[in-house]
Structure 1
Amino acid sequence: MSISSWDDFPVHQSPDWIRHVATTDRNFYDRYYFNLHSSSGELFAIFGMGQYPNLGVHDAFCCVARGAKQHVIRASRPLTDRMDQTVGPIRIEVIEPLKKLRVIVEPSEHTIAMDVTWNAAIRPIPEPNQHIRNEGRVVFNTQRFAQLGRWEGTLSVGGEDFQVTPDRWGGARDRSWGIRPVGEAESDGIREGSNVMAGMWNYFPMLFDDHAVLYLNHEQPDGSRKLVEAKRIWADGRPDEELGRPEHDHTFESGTRVLTHSTISFPESGLEIDCEPLLVNYVSVGTGYGMDADWRHGMYQGPELVVQGKVYDVDTEVKPIGQYGVVDHVARFSYEGKEGFGLYEHGFFGPFPDYGLNDGAAVAP
């Protein structure tokens, strides 16, 4: 049915129904991403939900790193009313737009249950548009905003229960939409062998007591940068500070593509931030970000709701492949006597000679 509840609101962006987006590109998506941590290496949870109107799919996941295990629950169903933010046991409620959201994973036979509410600590930050064309086709054309905040509620993983309180449980979220590769893998054709995300990806949103720092860098193997952001955002509403061109100095775990430490500097602003990862979450495995042939964001799983649970051993089942995708950590950040926590996300795709990664399979010495 074309008509849905959203059509009763003045939010249309084209002459069509809300159910039908303004582009016919199969890869149009609309997605939430959240992370949750205890400002320590205790656990690190990542969860999200996406709608894919031109693929007719609505899916969601929650992935929790705890000790030597990575727990995943994931769900998929055909897309119906876009206002319905429920996929099986996973539900998102927007209580106050841009300020307060609730995320629920109902208890089930699987190893994760959660009922947490997120409150914004800073205003949402619009990030640069990511636009990448490859051999004539637009592969990425996305818009995103980022925001940091505090969590409260309850979380259960692997039989352990945690009380989530805003004094120490924080996290970042983003909302993104547009065009990026989703669903079943397509034939590459003329694009065979090319990698539009080649190079280094860094994304470090950091929350301090009265401000946040947002560092983003997609740097190609030749040193050119496709996407960069570096700013400081004050909680009291002062104007954002542009920090200037960022520079990076990364340390790898030997024999891997996993970072163990970073120093990010902003010479124009005189800032240098020490980055210490505390716990890793290989979000590319089990959640739909591309490492699983049978479960990708937007992949059709059949006419009925599908819910699956997974428990992986990190060192043997996840790390060997997950290190070649996007790798998320909770991390401690410090500069000028200030301490904060947040997301330390990196990926090295293909060669990156500056750090000794001379081909797509290479690892750090």
Structure 2
Amino acid sequence: AAALLFLLLAVGGAGVVAVMVAPAIPLLVDAALWLLWPVEVRSSTRFVDEASRRLASVAPTVVAITGSFGKTTTKAHVGRLLRNRRRVVVSPASFNNRLGLARSINEQLTPGTEVFVAEMGTYGRGEIRALCEWIRPTVSVITAIGPVHLERFGTLEAVASAKAEIVDGSQTLVLNIDHPQLAELADAEEGRREVIRCSSSSARADVYVGPDSMVYLRGQAIGATSDGEAFPGNVACAVGVLAAIGLTADPADLASLERPAHRRQVATAQSGAVVIDDTYNANPVGARAALSMLGRYASPGARRVVVTPGLVELGRRQFAENVALAEHAAREATDIVIVGRTNRRALLEGSRGAMSVRVVDSREEAVAWVRRTLGPGDAVVYENDLPDHYP
């Protein structure tokens, strides 16, 4: 392998290596994780055992949240809606694996904590089931099923099956039934446990968030979010969690819900340009929603810019999804800035109808161009930011 890499560098340089190696990066990362998994388990056992004992001693209601996307935002919404009602601990940032959750429990869970909200992520089947063996959920939440991590799971059905591992042992299941796989799961689990259906498309759901941001709980309006950009499915699931533990969300708390960092956050730069930071979003649905914000924040006739390296971990759908992303960007933006080489070909294909397309090697180069170019009235969305191991 090392000899092959040396030969590629000698013949074609770093660009050739990047093009040939980029598609294999997820597989290489998976192989490394698989090799290191026994080491991680051995090194983390002491911390996990300590966390298990602490959980048993404090005995909070455990809310476990997973989904292809929307986990972190929904978790933050639950914490905000509960903070004036219960003593709540929310796992921080994206601490959603075995060691991260053990650390969250050991460092933050104290006697008197009434609710522990745990985000659970997975890169493969069995991971969430293993987490639930020692973090036993009272309420299980699945926010969405989408084409994320498909290079590992292969199909949406496999994604749904892995996420559904969070169901076992829980008393109440909160599901976003706007996703067909979760609507089917809701029907299958009816009668086995309480099921709370959440939706932004069906007013008959237990929790419904309408197009005017009004939130309904079992048909009764309980308040509205003031953030028109909030994803209604995430809000609905958070309200569903409160219903699962016998509470109704307070209207003032609903109105105060905010987006987590780097997820469609809006700010005004020193230049006067509006900056939409969506760098922590990596799913096609959220990406399209962020791009659609440009027209609402840019002044008429001003520049509307999309800066993106594209989306990854989409398996066989990655090329097509990035073509679609660029096509959407071409409709919404005056300028598209393509970062890096990972998805360059797909993004260039999809952006053929754009007014202006620029290709740069790094996010830093893109940011420098934005700062030189944009001014008052202009708007830019930074869509996704790939880890360093992607070219």
- TM-score normalised by L of structure 1: 0.28
Q: Which has the larger radius of gyration?
A: 2
Higher strand share: 1
Q: Which has the higher contact order (CA 8 A, sep 6+)?
A: 1
**TM-score, length basis structure 2:** 0.26
Larger helix share, 1 or 2 = 2
